Amino acid sequence: MPKFSRRSFLAAGAAMLAKPALAASVESDVDIVVVGAGAAGIAAARRLAAAKQRFIVLEAADHVGGRCVTDTTTFGVPFDRGAHWIHQPDINPLLKPTAPASFEVYPAPRGQSLRVGPRPARDSELENFLAGLVRSHRAIADAARGKGDMAAASALPADLGDWRQTIEFVLGPYTCAKELASVSAADFARQPERNFDAFCRQGYGALLASLAAGLPVRLSTPVLRVVHGRGIAVDIPAERYYARNAIVTASTSVLASGKIDFIPPLEKRELDALDSLKLGSYEHIALELPKNPLGLQRDDLVFEKSDGERTAALLANVSGTALHVVTIAGKFGRELSAQGEPAMIDFARDWLASLFGSSVKNAIRRTAATHWDANPFVLGGFSAAAPDEDDARNVLRESLGGKLWFAGEATHATLWGTVGGAWESGVRTAEAVLRHMGVLKEQEEESEPAPKKVKRAPQRSRQHRRER
């Protein structure tokens, strides 16, 4: 493969360097620069390494994993500060052919618990809630098959009654990180059913980080500028990398904010796509509750029948530990997280007390909260397309001049918002780059081995769910 050097880059044309570049104390030449070491960046890097390409991964944060990272210091047990649910484990690319030997992946419990004020829901209440969810899913799917797109909220059945707020939370903020009024019905309907999930006892972020071992990743290295044309120049503080191609996996909110300068600037269609796919809000409030004072089972998922937007979801006794995680999301989650960690902890305490009794507050020990909305290298949770903008993901999958490429969960048509979707997008984009470079022919693409099968847990009875 011919080396793309500083000399050949400069010869490509001075127009690419219309804006003064940073002074470069070190000049490095690689085939591909990968921006971001989240799931998409790691997946792209592994594919490039398999093709024996010269590449570098530049990560602004001080860790790999992006929005999928495990904290083991705060509570002394794995706490996934970002992604935790392993969706569709039987076909999840991170588990193919199997998870690394040191990681235990096990099925998540089926179903969920429901509280009505301070008591468990009755069977009839649970049936009404579940029936409303099914009808709402079906109504959004039916609307998506129409001639035009609409907000997912507009497609909901009109007779949901006093379950509407709860259903809107579960399908909106909890599933999409945004209210359904801000989510495309067509984009929502493309999601596959996620009724079979799994967890990793050591943490999803830890599993992902293990897959980055041995890759050439530079941490704490923010990308400031990407110059693209007949070649690529990537500026980081005091250095510049020259390459033939760049794969950018930064979040849509980071790209839309202009934190990375592109020369020439991105066109209006790319900017509009980024704007319509800005990340929603998805934050975790973690509480240590020793001796199971809530009386819940391991990995119990709990919702409440709510009458407003100040609601949340609880994942109890995570992997059998004393860790409990309260998830806030959407507009309320963003507003609450902006008030700071003390306000988030206070809300979680009061919310749990309203469902399980005031004595719960005295049982809480160590606490923590995430701040993805304020993280300058992320700026949110995950993407969901705005109404009438469901084609935005296709726009971001197109390369600019066959040199600049975007990848990440926001570019996946169906698995957006998931680590598996981000991973698949990274592999797909790396292979597109390799084909464009002439390194990979269509028939030479690596075939994936058979996926790992994860035994399904038996469905819990409604009576069991009601009593726990």
- Give the tens place of pLDDT for each residue, 392-435: 999 999 999 999 999 999 999 999 999 999 999 999 999 999 99
What pairs with residue 315 in β-bridges?
301, 325
Which pair of structure tokens corresponds to residue 377?
């290298």
Residue 89's identity, in one-letter code, is P
Ordered alpha helix ranges (H), 103-146:
123-144
SS3 track for 326-362: EEEEHHHHHHHHHCCHHHHHHHHHHHHHHHHCCCHHH
What is the C-alpha to C-alpha distance for residues 97 and 92, in angstroms, rounded to an integer? 10
Handedness of CA 35, 38, 43, 49 (dihedral sign): positive
- Give the tens place of pLDDT for each residue, 169-216: 999 999 999 999 999 999 999 998 766 899 999 999 999 999 999 999
Give the closest residue to 251 by CA, choosing from 374, 383, 371: 383
The two beta strands, 105-107 and 197-200, are antiparallel
- Mean pLDDT score, 140-161: 95
- Residue found by looking up tokens 């079979």 in the block: 196
Coil/strand/helix, residue 93: helix
Lowest mean pLDDT among 9-18, 61-70, 260-269, 316-325: 9-18
Judge whether 412 and 421 are in contact, CB under 8 Å: yes
Output the pLDDT for position 194.
Answer: 67
Coil/strand/helix, residue 441: coil
Contacts of 352 (CB under 8 A, 6+ apart): 287, 294, 314, 326, 360, 361
Indicate the helix (H) or strand (E) that contains 28. Answer: strand 26-29
Judge whether 283 and 344 are in contact, CB under 8 Å: yes
What is the C-alpha to C-alpha distance for residues 294 and 301, in angstroms, rounded to an integer? 12
pLDDT-derived band at 97 (thresholds 50, 70, 90) equals confident
The two beta strands, 225-228 and 261-263, are parallel
Contacts of 60 (CB under 8 A, 6+ apart): 36, 220, 221, 222, 223, 376, 377
Residue 178's identity, in one-letter code, is K
What is the C-alpha to C-alpha distance for residues 390 and 308, in angstroms, rounded to an integer? 28
The top-level CATH class assigned to 6-66+206-278+380-444 is alpha beta
Give the closest residue to 468 by CA, choosing from 324, 294, 286, 352: 294
Coil/strand/helix, residue 168: helix
CATH 3.30.465.10 assigned to 113-195+282-371: no
Give the closest residue to 84 by CA, choosing from 195, 201, 175: 201
39-50 vs 419-437: helix axis angle to the nearest 10? 40
Q: How many residues does the chain have?
A: 468
**Can you give the residue ranges of every domain in the chain?**
6-66+206-278+380-444, 113-195+282-371
Output the pLDDT for position 441.
Answer: 78
Higher pLDDT, 457 or 206: 206
- Percentage of the chain with pLDDT > 70? 88
Contacts of 73 (CB under 8 A, 6+ apart): none
The two beta strands, 105-107 and 282-288, are unpaired
The distance of Cα 440 from the centroid of its chain, to the nearest Å, equals: 29
Output the pLDDT for position 195.
Answer: 65
Which pair of structure tokens corresponds to residue 101?
């030997």
Ordered alpha helix ranges (H), 217-292:
252-256, 268-276
- Mean pLDDT score, 16-22: 39
What pairs with residue 301 in β-bridges?
315
Give the closest residue to 88 by CA, choosing from 105, 68, 73: 105
Phi, psi dihedral angles at 15 (to 5 degrees): -60, -30
- Residue found by looking up tokens 């592999």 in the block: 427
- Give the tens place of pLDDT for each residue, 328-353: 999 999 999 999 999 999 999 999 99
CA distances from 373 to 238, 274, 335 (A): 28, 16, 10
Is-above-0.75 flag for pTM?
yes
